Structure 1
Amino acid sequence: MKFLFDFFPVLLFFVAYKLYGFYVGTAVAVAATILQVALFWLRHRRFENSHLVVLAIVVLFGGATLIFDDPVFFKWKPTVAYWLFAIGFLGSQFIGQRSFTERMMSQALSAPRHVWTRLNLAWVVFFALMGIVNLYVAYNYPEDTWVNFKLFGIMGITLAFVLGQGVFIARYLDDDEAGGEEKS
């Protein structure tokens, strides 16, 4: 459900773009992101750092697109967000006791330190590559293709990546469980 909630502004951008064009889509994305953060705060009485980072980037790059009448700013928005997340995940390897991945997922599963390190570094690589792929599509394909990629391509690649992580985690969890049974 959180995954869909996080894609809510992208979906609204897509619909507004298809109906009214890039600039209306951009304005809708800015408004939807503000609404998303406000709704999350009203429901949980707290902010998620990732939502605040995305909000700042959307307002900055969406605002620049609308003020300067140039869609290139908004096309850079996903890349900047991905690269900031990559830097954050990489930095979490060296700052604090646990990486971002371990902090987010340790309540749901238990895994050895090397598994958390690999998962975290996988997210670093994923975010870095997604930033590059976004720029490639933005600069080498028509605007409509980039908009379709922003919704369907990014969502599909993200789902495939998350499923791949599930397979990776399951492999290690099965080994840990089997090892625990042998020790008994």
Structure 2
Amino acid sequence: MKALLDFIPLIAFFIAARYNGILAAAGALLVATIIVYAIHFVRQKGKFDKQQWVVLLLTIVFCGGTLLLRDDIYLRWKSPIINGIFALTLLVSAAINKPLMQLAMKDVFLLTMSGWKKLTIAWALFFAMMAVLHYITAFTMSDEAWINFKTYGWIPLMLVFVVAQFLLLKKHLNPALTDKSVK
């Protein structure tokens, strides 16, 4: 349910951008994000995780800046910066021996510390690549290409990455998880 809710702001952005332009899309993205995060806030009993705070605050800042200054440059920087922050955070967590992917996926996979660090670095590199791709589409391509990539162009890349990751790690699935699904 959470993942489906998180697509609502993208859908609002895409529809508004198609029919009313980028400034309207910034407004739609901002309003939809605030509504979705209010729902998350209630469902999560008044709590956000750090990733949710980053996305919410940066959406408010970049969409708000775009609307207040009537300049889409701020909105164009949103995705490269968010992905860059995720990449940097994951790299730092691996460097200090506290790989964040272990916290996120410890119930799914059983890995050594080296494995968790490699997985965390792989995700960091993926987010770094996404930051670069978002930057390229936002600043070197047409508005239509940027809108299409921002809305749904990244999804196949994420799916390929997640499937490849699962195929590489399937032998490390937590037996307790697979036992529950068999019963």
What band does the TM-score fall into relative to the shorter chain? 0.7 to 0.9
Alpha-carbon distance, 1:173 to partner: 2.1
Say whether the 8 Å CA contact 1:37–1:52 is kept in structure 2.
Answer: no
**Larger RCO (CA within 8 A; separation ≥ 6):** 2
Unaligned runs of 5+ in 1: 178-184
Query: Structure 2 matches for 1:79-98, cutoff 5 A?
Result: 79-95=80-96, 98=98
Q: In structure 2, what is the Cα distance between the partners aligned to 1:4 and 1:121?
A: 27
Q: In structure 1, what is the Cα distance between the partners aligned to 2:26 and 2:119?
A: 33
Residue 43 of structure 1 corresponds to which residue in structure 2?
43
Alpha-carbon distance, 1:161 to partner: 1.1
Runs of 4+ off more than 4 Å: none
Q: In structure 2, what is the Cα distance between the partners aligned to 1:162 and 1:8?
A: 21
TM-score normalized with structure 1 length:
0.87
Alpha-carbon distance, 1:94 to partner: 3.6
Q: In structure 1, what is the Cα distance between the partners aligned to 2:111 and 2:70?
A: 49
Unaligned runs of 5+ in 2: 176-183
AA aligned opposite 2:140 = N
Residue 61 of structure 2 corresponds to which residue in structure 1?
60
Query: Structure 2 matches for 1:137-152, cutoff 5 A?
Result: 137-152=137-152
The alignment's C-alpha RMSD in Å is 1.8
Query: Structure 2 matches for 1:76-155, cutoff 5 A?
Result: 76-95=77-96, 98-155=98-155
TM-score normalized with structure 2 length:
0.88
Q: In structure 1, what is the Cα distance between the partners aligned to 2:107 and 2:56?
A: 26
Q: In structure 1, what is the Cα distance between the partners aligned to 2:166 and 2:98?
A: 20
The alignment of Structure 1 onto Structure 2 pairs a total of residues equal to 174
Residue 7 of structure 2 corresponds to which residue in structure 1?
7
CA displacement, residues 79-125 of structure 1 (integer Å, 9 cap, x when unaligned): 00001111111121244x63110100001221222221111001111
Residue 172 of structure 2 corresponds to which residue in structure 1?
173
